Chains A and B, each alone.
Chain A
Amino acid sequence: MRTPYERPVIQKLHSGLMNKFASSPNFARKVRDTIDAIPIAELVERFGSPLFVFSEATLRRRFREVRDAFTTRYPNVVFGWSYKTNYLAAICAICHQEGALAEVVSEMEYDMARRLGVPGSNIIYNGPHKSLASLERAVLEGAQIHVDHLDEISDLEALAVKLGREIRVGLRLNLDTGIQPQWSRFGLNLDTGQAFDVAKRIHREKKLIINGLHCHIGTYIMKPDAYGVAVEKLVKLGYKLRDELGYDIEYLDLGGGFPSTSRLKSSYLPAEMALEPIDVYAEKISEALFNTLRPGDFPRLILESGRAIVDEAGYLIATISATKRLPDGRRAYVMDAGINLLYTTAWYKFTIEIEKEVRGINEPTVLYGPLCMNIDVVDEGVLLPPLARGTRLILSPVGAYSVTQWMQFIEYRPAVVLIDENKGVEVIREAEDISDIQRRERLPTRLKLNY
């Protein structure tokens, strides 16, 4: 039998790379030939490359895992789907089918939720910037508004006068839970007493009714205890509002920030080892609620988990369009997808899998994207065997934030497909073409070129 051709590899010699699991870094590699039993090759053939692929089965499974972690520990839990994490209509629809409310942070996201048919009363309207028009619409449609600052309170009070009715609002709070950096730019500060002062001010005006408290202590929070602290402080403030001002707090919204299995660049260990499972977060929150709530009082617990639910359901298939050897000897590949599609690559390290088994020894490799910009680096040092041009790599998890933060810079954005639970594949966002980019542009007649 003929031995197949292998590309030559230059390997720097050094010793001591053995790890305690005795696997050799020279040959360890990750291969993924299918997503949900659909071959990678088939997906690319049908829908092109690069290609975002979402697994409905994984999304629903994750949603239910996260949901059950909390619902088995506290009897009045509601999830709010964090639109900013992924506002593809199909993804939002799946989350709403699973019972989530819509958590929006801008007028655009509000419009998206309404366009999907989400009733106003199922929308939580967050965010530091809410236009007057959108506030009025949200009030009329019964959305739950979380006020971020005093100016917004003035806006809402003016609206209450205009509409001749009281408006129910939640207060967005920031507080010290031991997490650094403390997100102090959003909402009213709890620890300094600012939040309570504002509540007194609202109480004096009698135009708004405070019926909920909301905080969001950060993102990718790795310390479950912080949530326990947040619960204790919110519940305490809630009872103070009830006892002193007569506001019955109907819900506590703890926001999100639960980590996914994507790996921070600064993390030495893989996410599964560095992080506590979601159950531990749920346990801390439930324990804190049961310890602090008064007997028989079960306010709604709202969670706005985004990343923890959708991240693992998303994959990006990219194709190597060129191979290079850098001056320092490292191998490099240019792919058809880079930071334009993976904005989060700046701080996360993705799992990189090859579509098929490839022979050869691993060597440190740099993965570049297609942009003519120096920062367009997907991975600066992944161990990969020598790969031929045209080989497809699968990057994951990329379900969170990628398709909302992707940018349109010199490249068209690719198609997004969804593999449903019966292994059918559907396009949920078509690949862009020139018309998408130029539809809004207007070329003055005098600038028409006469070629």
Chain B
Amino acid sequence: MIQVSWESWQERMRSYGDAILCSYSEVFFLRGRNFGAMVMAITFLNPNAAIAGLVAVIAAYVFARFIAIDRGFLASGFYTYNALLVGLAIGYLFKVTLLTLLFVMAAGILAFVATLTLHSLFTIYLKLPVFGVPFTLVTWTTYLAAARFPNLYVSALYNRPHSGLETYLPLEISGFLKSMGTILFLPDVLPGLLFTLVLAVSSRILLFLSIIGYYAGTAFVALLAGSFDVAFRDVSHFNFILIAMALGGVFLVPSRWSYAVALLGVLVSAIVLEAFKVFWSGFGVSGFVLPLNTPTYILTTLLFLYVLGSTGFPRMARFIRETPEETLDYYLSDVRRYRGTAVALTLPFSGRWVVWQGCDARWTHQGALRHAYDFVIRGPDGLTFSGEGRVVTDYHAYNKPVLSPARGRVLKVEKGIPDNPIGQVETVHRWGNVIIMQDVWGSYICLAHFAQGSIRVAEGDWVECGTLLGRCGNSGYSPQPHLHIQVQISDRVGAATLPFGFVSYLSGGKYRANEPVVEGEEVEPCFPDKEQEAMVTFLLDDCHQYEVFRGMRRVGELTFVVRCAPDGSTYLDSGRGKLYVGTQQGTFYVYSLVGDDPYLRALFMALPRLPLSARDGLRWSDHLPIGILFSGMIKDFLLLVASVVPNIADIRVDLRRIGRREISGVVSYPLLRFQRSVSVELEEGLGFKTIRVDDLALRRVSGSVRGKDFGAHLGGPGSEGMS
């Protein structure tokens, strides 16, 4: 028991350490403890500031734990890096003494509570990240307060250490490096150089942005002010670096557009920056008191983000990952992987139907009613009827089952309107026999033109996806039997329509999980099959073990445990990496890989998605992030280029089902003539039996399903000894 608690204590300390280190990397918009450790080490070039910063962030963290905030919540460092900056700002001004440390501690806690409060306000009312706002406000506050605390000044002012390296460098370079150092209150060449190196190691895109941001902004100021010399000596130009990084690589997906926005942001901020300096000089405060200028980059960035976000700029980063490269990588693959609409339904029928009229079409799907689809059935001859087509019963679609496209409740039903003879339409009851239902997500769905008397659900009925609603007919404004479906803004018959699409269907011989459907396309729904669903329904805490072979040689092993993230998503945790997976509307997806585990990468590569239909010979395609195939220099270079030429980042996976439990296919990246054959064998029951990528094979060790935690509930520590 003692050993267990020692281990858990160690683990706890490690997680505290990680959270604190992550606060350091957050300043440069990076994630992770390693970069944080490097940044922290560099701050010790000015031990005063470094200690104050560290004390402030520790104070904030301990306070957060004291008021019982969850460790996972704090782990990213996102809520504590403002405290760090406040600590650094105070340490920059005052020498470390017991008194200043107490002051720093209090300021750190203030920064933390300000962060949480402002975070709520910002995310709710402005839909903006809180960013460095708490830092700015709290630093101003402490600086103002410090004026009334004379004891702080008695022994606490000091001369800051200086490397003296700038005399060996041209002004154009030392200016940049000093500004870079100023970001963490180290306005000197050496720390600036070191930070630049950290950036160079962690993200080439950020490095690139910091350079173009700095030089563009500085040149602009120099031209306006008339002196390049003065401009390069002004360390407050670190604002340009931060704006360029924030806009160009962090909050926007790195691209030509984001780079342009970054440059424009830098130019705009030059005006704000100088205005702030003039403002402060009015109070007799020098513009070189650094923290007073930081509102420049915060204000500019927030203004841009608010406008871009509220007007729906398409290249906002919805998921900000560890580095801009990662953000870009997943953005580019996600754009290709998930092409469909947010509201997506199951096709409301069974078998092959053809889109007779799509959205924005030539007949009736126009204006407010433009988001709608009409479906008919075509025979082998391409016609929608057999025989002469003079009566409704000649039509293939007539009397075919109409199935519920979603789970939900039936709100309105009209069922007594007669079917029109062929060639005539009804203009009074244009929708004919109609059902309006609301699905579990709140969408209003309208299905129209049912056969007279065929509707077998009533208002108020709860229906599951696939429930038989009625039969396709020819009632209403319908020249031939067909099925009309739309998603609309209210439960009123004939209400304005909203965009929607369909999930899990076959088209052109391929499975589509959620893609736009076009006129003339023949589509067939693929209903999920129980056996297939069961095979990928991972149970929490289950432990899956694999032996890894390359050719015949055993090269390692993989053990992953099924875990649940705080947001409810499921991931497979191998210790080295987390593979996020999930099932959505009939398709199993591998969403993303966090961390780096070559064997989880192999799984991602071999099975990025799996249709849960039992159909034999099903074919489908998917796309992968570059980071799943490449690492190191190649990956970095490809992504830097992809930020300007996104087309180069297209890694395709083509898969096909062989039998009920085997999937095989090819991963290809024509640009580098890269090709891998992949295959997966599903376990009868649950999970993956084998996973292959070329000659790398992961083979499931049988009998390894239940994790040790499962038994631990029953047996306690004793059961550990048994396993």
Contacts and interface: CB of A to CB of B under 8 A. Distances in A.
Interface of A: 61, 64-65, 68, 71-76, 78, 96, 99, 101, 118-122, 142, 168, 211, 248, 250, 286, 290, 295-296, 298-300
Interface centre among B403, B466, B524 (most CB of A within 10 A): B466
Interface stretch (B23-31, B126-134, B527-535, B597-605): B527-535
B400 interface: yes
Contacts of B462: 295
19 contacts: A71-B352, A71-B524, A72-B349, A72-B396, A72-B401, A73-B350, A73-B401, A78-B614, A78-B616, A99-B615, A99-B616, A99-B617, A101-B616, A121-B660, A121-B661, A122-B616, A122-B659, A298-B527, A300-B614
B619 to A, nearest CB: 12
B542 interface: no
Contact of A296 (B351, B377, B467, B614): B467
Interface residues of B, number: 36
B350 A295 contact: no
Contacts of B467: 295-296
Contact of A73 (B351, B616, B617): B351
B20 interface: no
Interface in B54-109: none
A168 B616 contact: no
A296 B659 contact: no
Contacts of B468: 290
Given A78-B616, A295-B463, 18 more contacts: A64-B380, A68-B351, A68-B352, A72-B350, A73-B401, A74-B401, A75-B351, A75-B403, A101-B616, A121-B661, A122-B616, A122-B660, A211-B531, A286-B401, A295-B464, A296-B464, A298-B466, A300-B530
B664 to A, nearest CB: 11
Contact of B662 (A76, A101, A121, A299): A121
B272 interface: no
B175 interface: no
B684 interface: yes
B659 A61 contact: no
Given A142-B684, A290-B401, A250 B350 contact: no
Interface of B: 349-353, 377, 380, 396, 400-401, 403, 407, 462-468, 524-525, 527, 529-531, 534, 614-617, 658-662, 684
A211 B353 CA distance: 31
The 4 closest A-B pairs by CB, nearest first: A119-B659, A72-B351, A296-B464, A71-B351
Contacts of B615: 78, 99
Contacts of A211: 531
A286 B401 CA distance: 9
A300 B351 contact: no
Contacts of A300: 529-531, 614
A217 B136 CA distance: 81
Nearest to B689: A142
Nearest to B464: A296
B658 A119 contact: yes
Nearest to A139: B684
Contact of B465 (A168, A250, A296): A296
A250 B684 contact: no
A142 B527 contact: no
Contact of A142 (B350, B352, B529, B661): B661
Among B353, B467, B525, B684, the one with the most A-chain Cβ atoms within 10 Å of its Cβ is B684
A300 B615 CA distance: 10
B660 A73 contact: no
Given A119-B662, A296-B466, A72 B377 contact: yes
Nearest to A67: B351
A57 to B, nearest CB: 10
Contacts of B463: 295
A415 to B, nearest CB: 29
Contacts of B659: 118-122, 142
A168 B377 contact: no
B458 to A, nearest CB: 14
Given A68-B351, A296-B464, A296-B467, A75 B661 contact: no
B350 A74 contact: yes
Contacts of A120: 659
B479 to A, nearest CB: 21
A71 B353 CA distance: 11
Contacts of A75: 350-351, 403, 466, 525, 527
A122 B618 CA distance: 13
A75 B527 CA distance: 6
Contacts of A296: 407, 464-467
A287 to B, nearest CB: 9
Contacts of B403: 75
Given A72-B377, A119-B659, A248 B530 contact: yes
Nearest to A168: B684
Nearest to A68: B351
Contacts of A101: 616
B73 to A, nearest CB: 37
B661 A71 contact: no
A248 B530 CA distance: 9
Contacts of A290: 401, 468
Contacts of B349: 72
A290 B466 CA distance: 10
A68 B397 CA distance: 11
A72 B401 CA distance: 7
Contacts of B400: 72-73
A214 B658 CA distance: 24
A283 to B, nearest CB: 8
B684 to A, nearest CB: 6
